[in-house]
Structure 1
């Protein structure tokens, strides 16, 4: 990694001049400032702000940096961020958050983060997804939370979606349902395949035929949630449905399903049971009747990712965390 001295040598100025430019001090000519900035960019120099804190405050407190891709800009995954902060605080670590607002914004966010010289980095996303980490993070102490990457040497903490759906399907089978209609997440969504596979395995292990199951995948894009309305119109006639349980890819699908079924005079769960997935913050508790769903372990993902860094865990690869079934009224 380039040093302050390297920048000074390339720009042909003193260390003090480089420091003044970095700290936006006055009394530096525009020509000199431009020369120093070009040297900083050419050398990919990252100022060490943490060194200043050590000199001014004494002993350094260990710090976790959180890179949040959409995580902090939606209500759905914020519990994961709160768990990281809480766990760090419990162990007398500091934490700070930097948002990545777009793929083009990643370089700026990473440079800002690395300037603080954190002891470990947690990369989080809203919604389970595959990510390509910024090159500047190569070789750093990075843990992934709610996402995976091609680098098998990195630890990743994600939901066990297969087991979550498997357990939920066992529950609906035990309740006597035999004619499911499934509206899964888009096929390209990372969580979609294990959830559908969990359903199929539980269904077949019970000796039931998939011929009795009607399965569809939602198209990619939020605008396609309401496609379920048209689908349900085809399967509901004169206040009756040709299925006895609706298995929803997530709670947002279940929200559309509730409105559609109830508006057509179909009662839940007396005529049709509904199963969700995610237990979305601020949404899951508002269904009437209360929605049976599967809990995404966002809090535990955040906690385990933080503990991975704090405890100096050495295992790598994907670590799957349990998704418990929340039994309510709709199923």
Structure 2
């Protein structure tokens, strides 16, 4: 899971990106072993990971994820979807995306006994206490939601969306869920589903960008006392962007960043193997030293001490017309 979280609170006109308290910035560096691989749905495998030395693993709470360092060196985030009370192992699940850049193909090549280095658990999708919950999960978006549903018990109701039952993992673990497969019930009306939340409910949404966007547009029209918590599996679109230039100091090359693209996307045209991970301003992998120009910071990750001379290229932009980066 490459995660992007937003919290909307009653009466607010804009989202508040998740901040300090539940987020472990660095997590624990752990050497784990793939203990078991299970086919959960079409193109979805779950991986049970255990400590290489058999020791108990650090505790976690619903909504947490692991930073996984794949054999190629690629770093990706995947939600923990097992039992938080079982510290003997972690479970994550990955849908294979053909020709994707998210690391899923490489994950699906792993075998039992393979070693994996991970960092975590970290949590940017906090499970809050609320009188009631409405969970809306789309496809592989069930992974962070699954432990929350179990923790909520009778206070929660899950609506699980997918193309077909064959593509929806963990159905056997969700006997009380409302299953809405497109090939059975048609394309869902997200506004109608969100409207079913009780007054004051915490609404959790995780799935494709159109699902989260529809929830954000409609939540407070019918439930002004509730809270909306969303997590995306893809980068948010660029808003209020304008064109600027980046000079790569080590080569002298200049790249142009379009108004609707990220600095990272433009840099990749010149440096295809430039390092990045979440593409959402969360993980800090793409942090780059700024040698010239002012930055329009659009993340909540960089500490104040680094904001004068560093940026996250996946979301931040030039405040003026140009930047010089140590690349």
TM-score using structure 1 length: 0.31
Q: TM-score, normalised by structure 2?
A: 0.32
Larger Rg: 1
Report the structure, 1 or 2, having the larger helix content: 1
